[in-house]
Amino acid sequence: MGRVRTRCLLAVALLTVPLAGLPAAADTAPIGVTLSAETTALPLDGTTALKVEGRNADGSPADLTGAEITVTSAAPAMATPVMEGAKGTVRAGTAGPGPVTLTVTVQVGSATTSDDLQLTILPEPARPYVHDYAQTLTMKMFMADNKGKVSLTFEQALEVIRKVDHLTRGIPKIFYLVGWQYDGHDTGYPAFDVVNPKLKRAQDATAADSLKWLIAEARKYSTTVSFHVNLLDASDKSPMWQEYLDKDVIARNADGSLRTYVWGYPISYTREWAAGLTTRRIDQLFDLVDLSSIGTLHVDAFHQYIPGYGTEMISPYHDVTTDQEIETQKKIIRYFRDRGVDVTSEFTYSYRKDPLLGLQPMAWHLRDVDPMKIPATLHIGGGGGDARFGVSMQGESKIKADSVTMKGFLDEFATSTLPWYYLNRLRRISDSGGVVTFSGGVTSRNVEGGVRIEQGDVLLRDGADVFMPALWREHREIVAYSRNGYTSRTWRLPADWKRVALVDVYRVGLDGLTRVAKNRPVLGGKIELSLPAGTAYSIVPHGTDVSPADTGQPHMFDAVLPRPGAAGVRPGHVAFAWAPSRNATEYRLQVAKDPAFTTVVAERTGPGVVTGLEPGTRYYWRVEARNAKGAITINGAPLTFETAEG
């Protein structure tokens, strides 16, 4: 599946409205105005230029100097214009895709006229996400509770990651660590600049060193390790508490008393941002770890309404409106995005007025999201939603309950994430009569015992019995699973297996694959299987090398930031990011002024920010993914971008 890209469409000719009574440029009376845009199809949170023009009766441009020009939006949550005279910009909102109308009103003296411009807000982010969350198993891992009790050390976390990688057949994964900071879950906030010392390895000098070790080692298991943080709550036990009180950024009730709720004292995003405290604590996190090379962060409880207070503003005493708080949330996310980091969060619509679509790629709890309007590539869930479209797993509770045998983990993966991944690669065509139809002739419906997924006459899922292609694997592979088990069941292989005459069968387990059968015949495009309850088999064409993925060379990978050929890039702060190369253990980024890279101006060993580039300059860049087996250069290299003029 390709990454989401912004489409750029030229504005079309617009209706001209009579301008009776306007003063003419020269001696002719103007007969109309036109509101136009550089592009009329905008991605979510995208911007484009606006222009208002007048026309005289003889076709010449009318002089609108001195005219009062106002541009309004029929739905400000979907698009907001800002004008300076006859020129301006419009930014798409994050409420969702669809049409929205802008109206220009031009007044000179008592004469008024107007024109409409129709925009389309696309179901795409303005900037491609760093990670593909529709094709990534995104979970949390609970490290320590708020009383300091440790569930997993960093060493134990790596062992869990290894087991999960084996059970999931190397699917791309993200783990957000919960309780990694201070003394455990939700401690220290608003500060998150100290790594929990109880999680440290004995051989490391600091807990931060142990955390960096875990991040690096996890990459060997197709896993990105990142963090669960909180930008809303403050604790009166935090080392930052007094400063936040003194600078008056803690939310207050209308009478001036401090506002509290179940999890502490909420912060006004807007007042904290204005005081420079938000960017300071974010920068401290970047100083602690190379977050740009990780590319994702989970911001918990990123609410716009405080639980228990209805739809009141966060801080009534300060009279900061909910809309102002939302705009500050957007600034916060853009600040992370400028440094190559996605922001995921807890909810989409719960405790919110605005879902932040196009800025937030994933919600831990997916609720009330219309899957026919919001594609998986735009916004996806860690858990929840309509099972016919696929529902992923969260993993946290299973690992917390049993990190040794991982009881129930394989069942949840096989019956949720495995079909979810498969369906997310397809286009959603219709949902009619209880049947969801996807591209490629795939259908999904609820039946007794669960969901039934078919592609023509090929059955892929029958309730808790699954026979799904593992499409993230480089070779052809099917994962078969049964919750209750069965004997001598026949399955038809997908069409791209029609030349396969023999298959090898392996049992999926905590320590990898164990061969069950070799040279099993395929008869008439079908195979017969018997599966014990709660067991998963990996089925591959005979002779396929099923060695762990990290024993092979790195695979081809694509650029994310800067977009290839990008122009107007800020020279002082250029974020570089790319899709992970499977099997890679390290990267080497080079930026040069020439395509032969004889004049290299910057180098890094991973994604991140390059500073100090010159304005008005074309730059060339490339990335090499490496491991012990070899190296490969990023697709399309050398890539180019141009910095903005100074």
Please give the distance of CA 418 from its chain centroid, rounded to a whole number: 19
Cβ partners under 8 Å of residue 205, min gap 6: none
Residue 7 confidence (pLDDT): 34
Q: Which one is predicted more confidently, 15 or 342?
A: 342
535 pLDDT more than 80: yes
User: Residue range 586-595: average pLDDT?
Assistant: 92
Quick: pLDDT tens for 436-473: 999 999 999 999 989 999 999 999 999 999 999 999 99
62 pLDDT more than 90: no
Residue 65 confidence (pLDDT): 85
Number of C-beta neighbours around residue 42 at 10 A: 30
Residue 49 confidence (pLDDT): 97
Residue 20 confidence (pLDDT): 42
pLDDT > 70: percent of the chain = 94
Averaged pLDDT score across all residues of the chain: 91
Quick: pLDDT tens for 301-329: 999 999 999 999 999 999 999 999 999 99
Rounded alpha-carbon distances, angstroms, from residue 544 to 183, 539, 556: 47, 10, 20
15 pLDDT more than 70: no
User: Residue range 46-74: average pLDDT?
Assistant: 90
Q: Is 241 exposed, middle or buried (0-12, 13-18, 19+ CB in 10 A)?
A: middle
Q: Which one is predicted more confidently, 633 or 503?
A: 503
CB contact burial 211-220 (16+ within 10 A = b; e otherwise): bbbbbebbbb
User: Residue range 94-104: average pLDDT?
Assistant: 98
Strand, helix or coil at 600? strand
Integer Cα distance of 93 and 78 in angstroms: 4
Residue 25 confidence (pLDDT): 41
Antiparallel, parallel or unpaired: β 600-604 and 586-592: antiparallel
Residue 28 confidence (pLDDT): 38
Residue 18 confidence (pLDDT): 42
Integer Cα distance of 450 and 461 in angstroms: 9
Alpha helices in 137-289 (DSSP H): 154-167, 207-218, 241-246, 269-274, 277-288
Residue 548 confidence (pLDDT): 66
Quick: pLDDT tens for 209-253: 999 999 999 999 999 999 999 999 999 999 999 999 999 999 999
Residue 570 confidence (pLDDT): 87
Integer Cα distance of 86 and 82 in angstroms: 11
Residue 437 confidence (pLDDT): 98
What are 125's strand-pairing partners? 44
φ, ψ for residue 552, nearest 5 deg: -100, 175
User: Residue range 392-407: average pLDDT?
Assistant: 94
Integer Cα distance of 552 and 538 in angstroms: 19
Q: Are 472 and 172 in contact (CB under 8 A)?
A: yes
Quick: pLDDT tens for 122-161: 999 999 999 999 999 999 999 999 999 999 999 999 999 9
Residue 381 confidence (pLDDT): 94
Residue 583 confidence (pLDDT): 75
Question: Which of the four pLDDT bands, split at 50, 70 and 90, describes residue 552?
Answer: low
What are 546's strand-pairing partners? none
Integer Cα distance of 599 and 435 in angstroms: 58
Q: Which one is predicted more confidently, 112 or 70?
A: 70
Integer Cα distance of 637 and 605 in angstroms: 17
User: Residue range 471-500: average pLDDT?
Assistant: 96
Q: Which one is predicted more confidently, 2 or 631?
A: 631
Spell out the domains of the chain, with CATH numbers in brackets: 30-124 (2.60.40.1080), 133-385 (3.20.20.80), 429-548 (2.60.40.1180), 559-643 (2.60.40.10)
Question: Which of the four pLDDT bands, split at 50, 70 and 90, describes residue 31?
Answer: low
